[in-house]
Amino acid sequence: MEGVALMRQWARMTLVMVSVLAGALAMPGTSHAGPAYGFVGIQIQGIDKSLAEILDLPDENAILVRDVAADGPGAAAGLRRGDLILSVNGKPTAHADLLKLMQTTKPGDTLTLVIRRNGKEQAIQIPLADWHDSWAITRGAFATLPTHGITLSALTGKLKERFRDKFALRWGTTGVLVTIVDAKKAGEDISLVPGDVILQINQQDVWLPKQFTVKLAEAKKKGKKQVLLMIQRPSGYYYMLFPIR
């Protein structure tokens, strides 16, 4: 029975995502417009009877916050991982209800949540934002750097699902995924490994392989020998130098 309950909980899990920025930063030929409805930037989990009993709830009309996107509207409003959402816009709201409600919203709308945190209830207002391109990638995009022996991929939803376990990709990850590294071509001065997610190059956000190659070419044109990368790994975030060849 416990296994069945866990399976039901997993079946209820879903994502409600929001852009990290309000403006679009599209590059030529790489437009990835997101849906028209607004976003919050949270990952949620529904409540079943077993969880309702443990949480001292009268019914299943509540939602657990599993994760919050850094710099998203939810985080900016003060929502935290582990919060329990009791109502949305004055109404007790179950998991499916919130998903339906989100479909009717638009950027600029405000959600008023009543949450429970550490046993205390409080109200939080969240202004919804537009999708940022890095959260709305639907078309696959790849780039191979023969001189460096690496292959890069855009993080589409399908690719995240495919490599989630293999590379321990966390929910909400945005950036450029390193999928292949040829150790012989890469050499000792390249520290990237498959599964690394490149978040920035020279302190500028990237989420498409083309953005990475363009910025690398720009640095080379300026006579630079290296660029600074910020990467994400399961163990944390790191800065590393990347050679220009």
Q: What is the pLDDT of residues 25-40, one digit of tens each?
A: 222 233 345 667 788 8
Ramachandran region, residue 203 (left: φ > 0; alpha: ψ -120 to 50; beta: rest)? left
Dig out the tokens for 153 from the structure: 């991929």
Domain boundary pick from 127, 151, 177: 127
Domain that holds residue 176: 137-243
Report the chain's mean pLDDT, rounded to a whole number.
84
Does the residue 186 lie in any domain?
yes
Residues 101 and 148 in one domain: no
How many distinct structural domains can be found in the chain?
A: 2
Clarify whether residues 119 and 41 are in a common domain. Answer: yes
168 and 60 share one domain: no
Residue carrying the six token digits 């999708």: 131
> Is residue 121 over pLDDT 90?
yes
pLDDT of residue 129: 85
Residues of 176-211 as b/e, b for ≥16 C-beta within 10 angstroms? Answer: bbbbebeeeebeeebebeebbbbbbbbeebbbbbbb
Q: Are residues 96 and 155 in the same domain?
A: no
Which phi and psi angles does 243 have, rounded to 5°?
-75, 150
**What distance in Å separates the CA atoms of residue 112 and residue 38, rounded to the nearest whole number?**
14
Which tokens sit at 213? 């190659």
Model pLDDT for residues 156-184, shown as the tens digit of each residue: 888 888 888 899 888 888 899 999 999 99
Say what the pTM is: 0.72
